[in-house]
Structure 1
Amino acid sequence: MRKLLVLIVLAACFLNASAQNISLTTGWKLAVGDSTQWASPTFNDQHWAAVNVAHSWEQEGHPNYNGFGWYRIHVVIPSSLKEKAFLKDSLRINLGSVDDNDEVYLNGKLIGKFGGKTGDIMKGAFYGPRSYTIAANNPAILWDKENVLAVRIYDTGGDGGIYGTNFSIAMADVMDHVNVDTEADFNYGERNSLSKAVKLVTTNHYDYKGKLAFKVTDPETNTVLYEKTNDAAFTIGKPFTYTFEIARLARKSYTINYTFTDEKSGKVLTQTETTPYLLTPYPSAKPKINGAEVFGVRPGNPFLYLIPATGRKPLTYKAEGLPEGLKLDASTGIITGTVAQKGSYPVTFTVSNRLGRKTKEFTIVIGDNIGLTPALGWNSWNAWGLSVDDKKVRTSAKAMADRLSAHGWAYINIDDGWEAEQRQPDGKIVANSKFPDMKGLSDYVHSLGLRMGIYSSPGPRTCGGFLGSWQHEDQDAQTYGDWGIDYLKYDWCAYSEIDPKPDLAGLKKPYQVMRTSLNKINRDIMYSLCQYGWGNVWEWGAEVGGNSWRTTGDIQDTWRSMSSIGFNQDKAAPFSQPGHFNDPDMLVVGKVGWGPSLHNTGLTYDEQYTHISLWSLLSSPLLIGCDMSHLDSFTLNLLTNDEVLAIDQDALGKGANKYVKSDNYQIWVKDLKDGGKAIGLFNLSDKYQTISLNKNDPVLKDYTKFRDVWQQKYIVTTGKTFSAKVAPHGVMLVKVSK
């Protein structure tokens, strides 16, 4: 889990005697553009603008800017830093997060780039936290003198620059590159018990010996439930493993603190995680039909729909009232075909097994509008980044078919990294060696009753440096149609080279061009605009034919990122409507990583409930971004609550509005097609708190039924208020009806 440190203001001066590091937020300066002179310590940067590195450069006066930029700061590095350190051989420089690629110079000398990776600064995307370590005797360091730290950034698209909270200079510590590996899954036992194995691991060549303290605390009462200390020894390649079991836990999250104290150095490492808790009831063995109540297709275009249903298998499917041209496979629940005649066709689905049968009224709309409810699916980026390949996509599709499709999840979307280096001589785009048969892959996805998506950019290159669709829009749209693509994410990226400072018409233009190209093919392709919310895209996204549009920059798996994005969607919410939805970016639950190395999301379990609840209230596309081959019990439980998903998939298509806002909590309200309302009570504080609404408040007046949507049970309420005790960063999601 990435730790966020509060930054301390620092002038270019010596540290006090007790300080262990240099922390700074002020003193940085920024210039966009590129010059080799800007690395030099003698360059005069007095005319450069001061910048707050808590924010991306878009937020610091450079909206819509992609390309090169430089940050510089002047700082004294005192020798007392080295003298007071236990280890004296290396200096560590932390630079928050880089978006996307970086080169770091200390007094004009290159000391690191790309977080240790290799490549071309203008190709690929090496986004993420940065920490560089150099030898204490490196002549680039001017001890007890002013040093100039210069950071060269190349931003491929979206937010850019260096930003975050972990900016510091310190001596390398004996606890550097030591961590408590908590990546193993929790195991669920009887009577709400939990067990797990954690490891103390290091990449340092140092023999650690000391004590590991283990403590479990109830954050609601601050009561310590379990506490134990163990001897622990480990070194590189020889981890220390600690296995524990916690018995009889209530249905809420607890805090686990791991504290290792090294005997020789006295240094301490503390790491924290929270415990999962399952709220969604397990599906009944009896048949139940899930998913949206409506599905739209354009006349004459291929139709593919899997009836989402749970229950003990085998299930038998039936559909009465299907329009002419469609047929149902009674054993799989997959409906295929084409319909020529426009109209709304009421259909009755029936699913049965040996325990019973269930019916559901459904509407097939053959018309000009598709994507009548937000997309439910998976996107490769937040897990695999540019390392995505055919095998990972097939594995994800099979996992979705086996574990999620019965709840309405339907899209398998390939993000950046699939394109070959060159087009064919006739200009046709082809996939690279990681995807040897894109048509075959699409056919496989379709055989599971799922739909397949792909990624491109209106610029000459994508954010990852692959081929974009610039001046090949018609060809690419036709190729996608030939492959059987059902969804296109169209990411601005290098289009800034075509139009560096677009006005409103310029922002619309590339999306209008591709929309025209997509209209020429005989296939429905959901059109996802990705340009980070520029120009208030929610006001015109539907006008240019978008089925969804990104309202923000890229999300990270932190509370700071998720909450700042999710709780600032109120301006866009009124523009949500069937076929056209706001997209506050993909989900960061489960195992994520943006590349070949994955980790458990940095969101706590309470924060993950908030994430899914808020995105569902907003009528957002829900695009899972985790490793689908590793859906642990909590993540699976989180993603298969049909009542929560029904809020997202409500046919009215409205986004929730921010009804109450305070420093410590917010209440969001969404109107539903059946006349009810979905209400989210969100605790933004770090402590439990009770959140209340008066029953005579207009949002509750005349409503008599209160349903806890996550637990799928009605709440008995008395008195004049509806109140809920909500966990830190957690949520109570209720549906009210008459």
Structure 2
Amino acid sequence: MRAVLAALLVLCVIAVPAEASDNGLSIRPAMGWSSWSFIRRWPTEDKIKAQADALVSSGLREKGYVYVNLDDFYQKCDANGFVVDSYGRWAVDSAKFPSGIKVLADHIHDKGLKFGFYVTPGIAKNAVTANTPVEGTSYHAKDIADTSQTHKNYNCKNMYRLNFSHPGAQAFINSWANQMASWGVDYLKIDGVDASTIADVEAWDKALRQTGRPINFALSNNLPIAQATTWKRLANSWRTQGDVECYCGPGPNGSGFPLTDWAHVSSRFNSAAQWQPYAGPGGWNDYDSLQIGNGDQVGLTADQRRSHMTHWAMAASPLLLGTDLTALTSVDLGMLKNDRLIAVNQDGVAAQRIVNSGVNQVWRKRESNGDHIVAFYNTGTSGNSTVSVTWSQVGFSGPAAVTNLWSGASEGTVSSSYSATLRPGETRLIRARPNVQRYEAENATISQGTVDSNHAGFSGTGFVNYTNVTGSYVESTVTAATAGDATLTLRYANGTTVNRPMTITVNGTTLTRDFPGTGAWTTWANSTFTVPLAAGANAVRATATTENGGPNVDYLDVSPP
């Protein structure tokens, strides 16, 4: 794809956890724009096209913002709820979208973008009243509707629940998904989801898969954390809270500017701390739209907007803009196009909170190359505050080279702790690169082995399980700024009583090392050795020398010359 994202994907390949959705989508958080925040209840074909055009002309598409998502209120309603087509599916309001959804999707695709759509659970009252047929079956709406119960819906209301014990219910959802796929839908948001709608989410997951079209599946809103593992299994993202919009603008239903305020943004800090364990490749905690683009009129100061983006990036939330892309300010556009911030969002890691004291917060995450990303916040609305953290709190010891990620400036080598005095609402985001660099085995080149995660205690997202053959190997590309002898530490586990020797080869030097039993596959040990590194890239290969293969390998730590 675009150069910046291609580089990120090369650097940050992470195995999808088994418990995540296995539809192969959203390996990194989605990026794009959604209609709800700015356009609200009044979407039209021309308005959506204008935003898509602006996503391209602004240069945001080149940074990875590719989804253009049409939210609610595209439908046609009457006194009994949603007007439906001949198969009971919502009818699109032709006054708002005279060319139809497919033509709109084609326009968006022609721009090199992806198209998103919207639905809520259930079947419309008008479909049941007319007893419309279920496409491709002998079933009808009255066969599959549970008219004793209704679903949550924010527009036309009047949505009955489906009786999923009847096969026609799944067939109905399949027909709807097939229609969307034929239009060119790439992303589907299903709204009104809660603990009582798990059957609906499962049905939509099945329906989207059977279309054969890759469709990113998003759930909304304010989902209960008690079912977090279910949302993770079925979907690619899930809204952890209610709307980020403040509904405090001067227009109807609180529309217009400001779109949000600091209270609605800062409330996402506690939510992100609670939901952090559930985020990962294939499924992300969604903290709602990113309200950056139109300057101070959105209700946030420049400091608060930078904190807004920093937090979404650290939490690995989808970056779906809610602002008016046709009126982007230069300051906000600079924020949105900051490659370093985008890289933090797209690294596939959700940060943990390690300091939460009054207005002071500190969040950390470690990327696959061993770098630590640390965010400092003053969440208050008045008064400066000094926020501090030690490197041991971050997760390493010794000095580290520090880079300010908002400015890109180097802050030199910092020995053991870091402090920032911040204005109210201000953030500091840094990359700390310890003198010891970590290379996770799961990100290496693997020959005759698998990436597994079934034994506890590993670092990163997994470990390498060598195939039990002579010659199986793991090879990491180690980068050194200067040539010289380097100390390498390989972390391994051997749950057998049999030694599993390996050769360590780098730059013409070959060492043979023993890797005896560690007592259990969950007991990890270190093997340390010294090898010469050249300036630049070095291939470090650990090769099994017996038919038992090598031990399980977690990572390689490198103290450079």
TM-score by length of 1: 0.47
Matched ranges for 1:126-525 at <5 A:
289-291=3-5, 293=7, 368-403=23-58, 404-421=60-77, 422-432=83-93, 433-436=95-98, 437-460=100-123, 462-465=153-156, 472-492=172-192, 504=195, 506-525=196-215
Unaligned runs of 5+ in 2: 17-21, 78-82, 125-152, 163-171, 246-259, 435-561
User: Number of aligned pairs?
Assistant: 368
| Cα deviation 1:138-188 (Å, max 9, x = unaligned) | xxxxxxxxxxxxxxxxxxxxxxxxxxxxxxxxxxxxxxxxxxxxxxxxxxx
Q: Structure 2 vs 1, CA of residues 722 and 426 (structure 1 numbering), >3 Å: closer, same or farther?
A: closer
2:259 is equivalent to residue 568 of structure 1? no
| Cα deviation 1:521-573 (Å, max 9, x = unaligned) | 02011000113122534332122x20000111111311111101233321210
Q: Partner of 2:308 in structure 1? A: 611
Distance (Å, rounded) in 2 between the aligned partners of 1:467 and 1:408: 38
Q: Partner of 1:201 in structure 2? A: none
2:342 is equivalent to residue 628 of structure 1? no
| Cα deviation 1:370-415 (Å, max 9, x = unaligned) | 1100000100000011111111111111111122011111100000
| Cα deviation 1:419-468 (Å, max 9, x = unaligned) | 23311223344321211221111111111111010111004463122786
Q: Partner of 2:354 in structure 1? A: 659
Shift of 1:470: 5.9
Distance (Å, rounded) in 1 between the aligned partners of 2:102 and 2:367: 39
Distance (Å, rounded) in 2 between the aligned partners of 1:469 and 1:566: 36
Q: Partner of 2:469 in structure 1? A: none
Q: Structure 2 vs 1, CA of residues 419 and 374 (structure 1 numbering), >3 Å: closer, same or farther?
A: same
Matched ranges for 1:663-702 at <5 A:
663-685=358-380, 686-702=382-398
Distance (Å, rounded) in 2 between the aligned partners of 1:709 and 1:491: 35
| Kept in 1: contact 2:399–2:413 (CA 8 A) | no
| Kept in 2: contact 1:294–1:364 (CA 8 A) | no
Unaligned runs of 5+ in 1: 1-287, 296-345, 347-359, 494-501, 593-598
TM-score by length of 2: 0.61
Distance (Å, rounded) in 2 between the aligned partners of 1:574 and 1:587: 22
| Kept in 2: contact 1:689–1:727 (CA 8 A) | yes
Paired residue secondary structure (2:87): coil
Per chain length, whose mean CA-contact separation is higher, i.e. which structure has more relative contact order (CA < 8 Å, sep 6+)?
2
Q: Structure 2 vs 1, CA of residues 718 and 579 (structure 1 numbering), >3 Å: closer, same or farther?
A: closer
Shift of 1:291: 2.1
Distance (Å, rounded) in 1 between the aligned partners of 2:14 and 2:106: 26
Distance (Å, rounded) in 2 between the aligned partners of 1:618 and 1:535: 16
Q: Partner of 2:239 in structure 1? A: 550
| Larger proportion of helix | 2
| Larger proportion of strand | 1
Paired residue secondary structure (1:393): helix
Shift of 1:508: 1.5
Match among 685, 708, 723 for residue 404 of structure 2: 708
> What letter matches 1:385 in structure 2?
R
| Kept in 2: contact 1:394–1:445 (CA 8 A) | yes
| Kept in 2: contact 1:709–1:733 (CA 8 A) | yes
> What letter matches 2:115 in structure 1?
M
Identical amino acids, percent of aligned pairs: 27
Distance (Å, rounded) in 2 between the aligned partners of 1:395 and 1:451: 15
Shift of 1:611: 0.5
Q: Which moved more, 1:460-469 or 1:578-587?
A: 460-469
> What letter matches 2:430 in structure 1?
V
Paired residue secondary structure (1:541): helix
Distance (Å, rounded) in 2 between the aligned partners of 1:394 and 1:468: 30
Q: Partner of 2:224 in structure 1? A: 534
> What letter matches 2:224 in structure 1?
W
Q: Partner of 1:734 in structure 2? A: 430
